[in-house]
Structure 1
Amino acid sequence: MEATRNRLESSSTLLVPRERSGPRASPLPPTPAPRRRRWGRLVRWLIGGAILAEGIWLLAPMVLYRTSVRASVIAPLATVRVHQHGVVEGLPPEVGTTVTQGQHLFDVSVASPDLRPLDRIEGEAESIRRSIAALDAQIADLDRIKATLNQHFHDYQEARIARAQTQSDEQLAIIQAAESRLKEAEYEFQVHGRASIRAASSDIQRTRAEYAVAAARNDLDAARQTAARLDLQLDAARRGYFVGDADGGQDRVASLQRCDEIEIQQAGLRARLGELHGKLLELDSRLASEQRYLDDSQLSVKAPMSGVVWSSTLDSGIEVVPGSTAMEIVDPGLLSIEAIFKEADAARIRPGALVEARLIGSSEILSGRVVHVADPGAINPEMVGEPGREAVPTGMFRAIIALDQQPTGADPANRYLIGSSAVVWTTR
């Protein structure tokens, strides 16, 4: 033990520093502080005083007024939801895009609609349309044939009328000749009658002259009857009826008979055409019903209000389910403040109360009034902001502040000021 203590004492003596030999250096005299250090100290005091004054100015409302526990800027929010299962068609507007009320946003259609009934109906309708077009063309061709046959008939009618007119004129000449022969026979009979009185003519000659008068009168009657028949034929020809010379019956030409056959054929074609038009109307009605069914399976989503797309979960071609939130639209032109107060301030914070507010980081004082006091446990889904979607803690309540003027001075990161923190106060 004695040896160990001697070793420890010897090691401790080695750690004691030795004093340097020689004379000590005399201490330097203190140098005076420069003048600029006093000005720097003064500037620091002034800056500290300014910071302290600003803090007092910011904390004054909390001491002198009834202030909110927490507040933020909110804006009206509209949630666009999908109500049927399907696939998004079209390109939905991106976040930050400005939309107007009623603007088309996107379409949602059934993933795989059955288009076979629609195609089948369209095929039947197209087939009937082609049949109708073919029948119309056939009827038009028959109309052209009828026009040609009618022209042939008119040409033949004009020829028959001209022939009947010629025969009538010839018969009139025959009548005139028969009248002349009758007059000649009568004159000869009169001459023989006067000669027989003077015994200059025999009875045979007188009788022959009498018979000649009777024959001439008969020829004249026959010629007149023939002329009457020819006049009837001429009148019938002008009306399109041709009386035959043999039996006096109607002689209807082949062209006009063919026109009658074409009329009968066209009547059947028009009846068939009416049936096809009826079927086409039925198919058009079925086609419209099927199209309405397909349109109902395709939902067109429009903007419920004007504003800015705040959030979106959509992209072209993605599948959506009923009840899912597609996007949210906010109206940044109608900002308000949602503030949380303690229950002790409920007597002062009531609808109609005048308040003042200031956004954190801004020196602008905004005036407003309380428009709504919410139930402490209520959550407002129609507003967007930080506290708007959280339940109020116990012992506090929520109030909505309508601003008399909209706040300004937004930063580039939040140009709409939605969700910005604020302080709301009113007099005690």
Structure 2
Amino acid sequence: MSSNVTPKPLPTPDVSPETPVGAAAEVGALERLQRLNEEMRARARPEVVEAPKQRAPKRLGEKVNALRARRGVKSLIAIIVAVALGWYPLQRLLAATSAEATVNARLINLRAPIDGKVSLVAPSIAVGTEVEPDEPLLRVTNVRADRGRLDDLRRTVDGLRSEITVLSQRLGQLQGIEKDVIAQRNAFQEGRIHQLEAKAAELAVQITTAEAQHEDAKEALERSRKLRQSGSHTVATLLHAERDYKVSKLAIEAARIRLEGNKIELEAARKGLFVGDSYNDLPRSAQRLDEIRQQTVEVSSQLDERKARLAYLEKELVAETDLFTAHSHAIINATVRGRIWEVLTANGEEVRTGQDLLRILDCAGAVVTATVSEAVYNKLWVGQPAQFRLRGERQQYGGSVVGLTGLAAAGSNFAIEQTALTREPYHVTIAVPGLAARRECNVGRTGQVTFDTSASAANAEPARIMTAAAE
């Protein structure tokens, strides 16, 4: 059984005047949703279970508290952002910074080492061209270089070489003749030795014969004496027998003396000396050998002297050739890594010794030149740490102060003169290794230098000086 029961509306939440405007709008939306919900339920079911009271007001209070908490968080975040944004400019305002700073580098002047005509070696020597160390750029050729000394040395060396060739041939010929004469002398010596040995054998036979005759004469003498005593022989026969005995005895002594003389000749012949009545101490072949040997020694000494002179003059020729090459041809090489800053010559131009040809920017030795105020300048010292930042970049490059020139610009061949920086009168030079290590050449780019004037940096400098002095 159905009955028409009007659903009870939910209690309307109280909206106090302290409720925010956004919260009131949300409450109105909730009320409309609640009424629409009640209408839908009334159409669907005749009996509607009464919803628990005080539920909607509870949800509304939670929403209001959440909105208040969000507003508090947003306010705190806004305060933090405002403090952060304000602290960074304040910190930069209080820091010791440069008024003007630019990347700078020294110029390397390449001059002509000799007089001559310039020709290009590198593909291009236009301004801004990158160059590497020892890269050839230009060639200077001097066709009018003096080569008189070089030509004289070459003629002298050629003459000595010809003389050495002739003397070597002459020495070879003398050595060949010496061999032939030695063979001739040896043959004569050998024959003479054989001859003396044969004569010694003959004399030995003669001694034996003389001894036999002496024995015979001795026996004949004894017989003659016996026969004379018996009266069978005359006195003349006895005298003849005595004479034969004495002659045979002297014949033995003479043969022995000749044998002794033969032995002396034989020993001398074996030593290469020849004694006799018909020749001198040396035969003609031996004398000729001595002459050839003297000529060989003389030619050898001349050959050694020519070779020594040739060796000395060849060294002189090499040195003179190098000197002539240096005076006639010269290659102009880049001495550093960098860029061509200025070209002061042209292809085919005649130049003089010492004339400037090129100026190269030493990018590997880049530094930073800056100007600062008097107040900042009085806080600086050589070796003070600093940070450099290129304009438009965030990266910081560490460095240190290497020059404090004050009101006077540094007397150096910088590409950008320090007098061009006029915002402040005091000039400072900072070495920044990080810029020199970069491949690109940043000379001319501007930036800002921040100097470390803290107490720790100031105390570190005396300690560093004392450590360096101790080392």
Q: Provide TM-score, normalisation by structure 1.
A: 0.67
Aligned equivalent of 1:192: 224
- Aligned counterparts of 1:237 and 1:159: Cα–Cα separation in 2: 10
Which amino acid letter does the alignment assign opposite residue 290 of structure 2?
Answer: D
Q: Is the 8 A contact 1:377 1:392 kept in 2?
A: no
Aligned equivalent of 1:99: 133
Question: Which residue of 309, 324, 336 maps to 1:294?
Answer: 324
Aligned equivalent of 1:125: 157
Q: Does 1:170 align with 2:205?
A: no
CA deviation profile, 1:2-29 (whole Å, cap 9, x unmatched): xxxxxxxxxxxxxxxxxxxxxxxxxxxx
SS for the counterpart of 1:406 is helix
Q: Alpha-carbon deviation of 1:273? A: 4.8
Q: Does 1:141 align with 2:145?
A: no
Q: Does 1:328 align with 2:357?
A: no
- Aligned counterparts of 1:257 and 1:357: Cα–Cα separation in 2: 98
Paired residue total: 363
- Aligned counterparts of 1:231 and 1:408: Cα–Cα separation in 2: 101
Question: Which residue of 104, 121, 124 maps to 1:74?
Answer: 104
Question: Which residue of 443, 453, 466 maps to 1:418?
Answer: 443
Q: Alpha-carbon deviation of 1:277? A: 6.1
Which amino acid letter does the alignment assign opposite residue 115 of structure 2?
Answer: H
**Greater shift in the superposed pair: 369-378 or 314-323:** 314-323
Q: Is the 8 A contact 1:379 1:391 kept in 2?
A: no
| 1:348-387 correspondence to structure 2 within 5 Å | 356-366=387-397, 369-376=400-407, 378=409, 381-384=412-415, 387=416
Aligned equivalent of 1:26: none
Question: Which residue of 430, 439, 459 maps to 1:401?
Answer: 430
- Aligned counterparts of 1:161 and 1:316: Cα–Cα separation in 2: 89
Q: Alpha-carbon deviation of 1:153? A: 0.7
- Aligned counterparts of 1:364 and 1:216: Cα–Cα separation in 2: 136
CA deviation profile, 1:282-314 (whole Å, cap 9, x unmatched): 85687477457536636676776xx41321748
| 1:297-308 correspondence to structure 2 within 5 Å | 297=327, 307-308=336-337
Q: Which has the higher contact order (CA 8 A, sep 6+)?
A: 1
Aligned equivalent of 1:338: 369
Aligned equivalent of 1:29: none
SS for the counterpart of 1:230 is helix
Which amino acid letter does the alignment assign opposite residue 415 of structure 1?
Answer: E
Q: Is the 8 A contact 1:376 1:394 kept in 2?
A: no
Mind listing any 5+ residue stretches in structure 1 that lack a counterpart?
A: 1-54
Q: Does 1:182 align with 2:214?
A: yes
Aligned equivalent of 2:33: none
Q: 1:69 to 1:323 in 2, by over 3 A?
A: farther
1 or 2, which has the higher helix percentage? Answer: 2
**Greater shift in the superposed pair: 415-424 or 260-269:** 260-269
- Aligned counterparts of 1:280 and 1:64: Cα–Cα separation in 2: 80
| 1:307-322 correspondence to structure 2 within 5 Å | 307-311=336-340, 313=343, 319-321=350-352, 322=354
Which amino acid letter does the alignment assign opposite residue 393 of structure 1?
Answer: T
SS for the counterpart of 2:285 is helix
- Aligned counterparts of 2:266 and 2:392: Cα–Cα separation in 1: 117
Q: Alpha-carbon deviation of 1:171? A: 0.7
Q: 1:422 to 1:134 in 2, by over 3 A?
A: same
Question: Which residue of 72, 77, 86 maps to 2:116?
Answer: 86
Q: 1:276 to 1:427 in 2, by over 3 A?
A: closer
Q: Is the 8 A contact 1:146 1:259 kept in 2?
A: yes
Q: 1:251 to 1:367 in 2, by over 3 A?
A: closer
SS for the counterpart of 2:449 is strand
Taking every aligned residue pair, what percent have the same amino acid on both sides? Answer: 22
CA deviation profile, 1:77-112 (whole Å, cap 9, x unmatched): 544434543356894697434428xx9987756442
Q: Alpha-carbon deviation of 1:134? A: 1.1
**Greater shift in the superposed pair: 230-239 or 334-343:** 334-343
- Aligned counterparts of 1:189 and 1:90: Cα–Cα separation in 2: 126
- Aligned counterparts of 1:397 and 1:343: Cα–Cα separation in 2: 7
Q: Alpha-carbon deviation of 1:114? A: 2.1
Which amino acid letter does the alignment assign opposite residue 253 of structure 1?
Answer: P
Q: Is the 8 A contact 2:418 2:427 kept in 1?
A: no
- Aligned counterparts of 1:261 and 1:80: Cα–Cα separation in 2: 68
Aligned equivalent of 1:261: 291
Q: Is the 8 A contact 2:105 2:362 kept in 1?
A: yes
